[in-house]
Amino acid sequence: MSSTSLVNQIAALQDYERYEDLHWSGSFEDYLALVRENPRAARTAHERLYDMVVEAGTETYVDNKKKITRFKFFDDERHGGRDAIYGLDIPLMRLVNVLKAAAMRYGTEKRIILLHGPVGSSKSTITRLLKQGLEEYSRTPQGALYTYEWALPEDLRHLTAGDEVFRSPMNEEPLKLIPPEWRERAITEFGLCEPGDAAETGRQPFTPYVRGQLNPACRFIFSELMALYNGDWAKVIQHVRVRRMLISEEDRVGIGTFQPKDEKNQDATELTGDINYRRIAEYGSDTDPRAFNFDGEFNVANRGLIEFVEILKLDVAFLYDLLGATQERKIKPKKFAQTDIDEVIIGHTNEAEYERLLENKFMEALRDRTVKIDIPYITKLQEEIKIYVKDYNPKKVRGRFIAPHTLEVASMWAVLTRLEEPKKQNLSVLQKLKLYDGKSMPGFTQDSVKELRKTALREGMDGISPRYIQDKIANCLVSDRGQRNINPFLLMNELESGLRNHSLITNEDQRKRYRELLAVTKQEYEDIVKNEVQRAISADEDAIARLCSNYIDNVKACTQREKVKNPYTGQDEEPDERLMRSIETKIDIAESRKDDFRREIMHYIGALAVEGKHFDFRTNERLYKALELKLFEDQKDSIKLTSLVSNVVDKEAQEKIDVVKQRLIRDYGYDDESATAVLTYVASIFARGEMKGD
């Protein structure tokens, strides 16, 4: 196959229609027709950013009696969840509410949005999502935006140093070319806004909000042309060509990023642009706007978003530019009048820098112009687990098997370090974690959980960062100790050993607390695997069904004061109290409560019968657990699991152990090696006589 034909085949993949659409250009008249058809093409930066987030879709759910909206934009489904944000729905709701208020021009458009939280809490990721989202949104029909350039004939190119085309250096909205004194009237009277009734359309009518003057360079060309044509605006506009604007961080269009450097290398011109000394010779003056590079971060971010990395490390020299950009929405380029900007200003900072801001009286003006949004660590276990499952799953991790619960115990420990000690005497921090994770617990209601969250003012603002967990998981995966499997104990040992050199642990008391919480996590893991092995041993559904039937027969006879027919002798006998109690005690039914529990069971069965349904032990979670534990107790001795510890396993016992192992592999996600390890570990607990009934 020739190289030409291969090139042609590759070229055939290109979407020419899309390319033409993205690079559309037309006259100012064409643009007015476009805005008349879709006024939202002329949205402000805050309006566009808010619409982008909302148009990705929302879901609502109730968490502890609080209605919460989840914005799907932050799931990052566009990139397969690469930068998905987990467990921060409430902070993200606050962020979107700020954007909504700014889009409606209620005042927050004149503020810096400050994402504040501990290191590794997703502040940068949220900002990155917004920047990437804006880039992609500008390439969609609903997110299209436009700017303009001057196209001058040869006899007028002296205005642009001989250049035929002079682009608006700040990519301004073309409607700004309509002079401010009759701009609003032109927009409202000539159909450049959305008519209609919100009650009928379900959508509020939209009127473009275009404020301010042209940038100095375009204002100069505009003024020169107005003088040339004796104030005939229509003739001036004939030299304007409108084009589609594609936001791109790489091309420095619509997105700016400013990162503080050391004080000697910082220069305010990085924000507002600088004089182009080569052009001074052409234009004869350093105050000629055409001899100025409008390439500062504020300039390039116009119509989009500017990110300030570690914003509170900014030198004071930058403070005045930042204050003007927020409150007045203007910047002051060197030797020029204040210039209007339209952009979202987002900064992020960690805890230590924010504390310094509070102590610095010289920064009061900045604090007053800031909307702070706390971005804490995740405090829900299942959400924390998602972070690590995304990065460490069978598709990404090859050649190593991560045993069940490995990522779970790391997540559990991380969340425990972020929780404040409960003020209630009867509640442990582990129980608090389970309540936050949606587990039910006797004596605690949704109101209780709500109150727990309300009294913990700094919860999630301290603790172990997800980055630390990721680093230790990575250490285990590349370890040269020879093991193929990564199990919870290996990872917990790695987490504990790393505490000695953790750079963010500032005192020994904190280190001691983290070690104690690791011990709590290990105990919880031990209980989890004991229960799993219990279920695997007692996973004979037929045997559970027979045991259940026997229990129900006896409960029925007991509650109705009848006798039970013995299936073997055929004789009527008293209900087997010993059997019933051996099952009920497994779920802590006290002697004084046994009659109530039995009546509950019979009422439940009766209610099902009225509806024409049959009783199934699987639908009653408490009874199911009790039956499992009873069956386990009856079977554990016959399986002789403890023989694994002594390494003396007879053939019959080995066959039974293999059945349990296969159930662990089939039902709980183990492989052969990790299932053997878990069985051996639980067997050692049996051998120590530590096996409990729950």
**Tokens 């603790």 sit on residue:** 463
Q: Tell me, what DSSP letter sits at residue 333?
A: -
> pLDDT per residue over 247-267, tens digit each?
999 999 999 999 877 666 667
- Evaluate whether residue 141 is within a structural domain: no
**Last residue of some domain: 502, 524, 544?**
502
560 plus 607 within the same structural domain = yes
Whole-number pLDDT of residue 485: 85
Q: What's the whole-number average pLDDT of the chain?
A: 87
Q: Which residues pair with 573 in a beta bridge?
A: 564
Distances (CA, A) of 435 to 64, 86, 121, 481: 10, 18, 22, 38
Q: Which of 89-98, 309-318, 492-501 has the highest mean pLDDT?
A: 89-98
436 plus 541 within the same structural domain = no
491 plus 553 within the same structural domain = no
**Last residue of some domain: 454, 479, 502?**
502
463 plus 557 within the same structural domain = no
> pLDDT per residue over 506-562, tens digit each?
788 999 999 999 999 999 999 899 888 888 877 677 778 888 888 888 888 888 888
Q: What's the number of CA atoms in the CB half-sphere (13 Å) around residue 104?
A: 8
Q: State the total domains in the chain.
A: 2
> pLDDT per residue over 108-119, tens digit each?
999 999 999 999
Residue of 352, 349, 245, 279 whose CA lies nearest to 307: 349
543 plus 684 within the same structural domain = yes
How far is it, in rounded angstroms, from Cα 409 to Cα 142? 44
At 638, list the tokens: 């016959």
Residue scoring higher pLDDT (313 or 385): 385
Whole-number pLDDT of residue 315: 73
How far is it, in rounded angstroms, from Cα 428 to Cα 580? 32
550 plus 632 within the same structural domain = yes
Show the domain range for 441.
392-502
- Evaluate whether residue 629 is within a structural domain: yes
pLDDT at 693 over 70: no
pLDDT at 107 over 60: yes
β-bridge pairing 564-565 and 572-573: antiparallel
**Tokens 């070229």 sit on residue:** 11
- Evaluate whether residue 356 is within a structural domain: no
> pLDDT per residue over 383-407, tens digit each?
999 999 999 998 888 888 999 999 9
How far is it, in rounded angstroms, from Cα 465 to Cα 288? 51
In this prediction the pTM is 0.85
State whether residue 347 is helix, strand or coil.
strand
> pLDDT per residue over 409-438, tens digit each?
999 999 999 999 988 778 899 999 999 998
Distances (CA, A) of 453 to 268, 445, 606, 608: 43, 13, 41, 39
- Evaluate whether residue 677 is within a structural domain: yes
542 plus 441 within the same structural domain = no
- Evaluate whether residue 381 is within a structural domain: no
What number of other Cβ atoms are within 10 A of residue 461's Cβ? 18
State whether residue 4 is helix, strand or coil.
helix
488 plus 594 within the same structural domain = no
Q: What confidence category does residue 15 fall into, taking pLDDT thresholds of 50, 70 and 90?
A: confident
469 plus 611 within the same structural domain = no
- Evaluate whether residue 456 is within a structural domain: yes
- Evaluate whether residue 275 is within a structural domain: no
The answer to whether the beta carbons of residues 306 and 258 sit under 8 Å apart is: yes
Distances (CA, A) of 594 to 602, 616, 621: 13, 21, 17
Cα dihedral 300/303/307/313 (nearest 10): 70
480 plus 578 within the same structural domain = no
**Last residue of some domain: 445, 479, 502?**
502
540 plus 654 within the same structural domain = yes
At 549, list the tokens: 């039937």
Q: Which of 35-44, 298-307, 320-329 has the lowest mean pLDDT?
A: 320-329
> pLDDT per residue over 195-237, tens digit each?
755 444 455 789 999 999 999 999 999 999 999 999 999 999 9
Cα dihedral 175/179/184/188 (nearest 10): -60
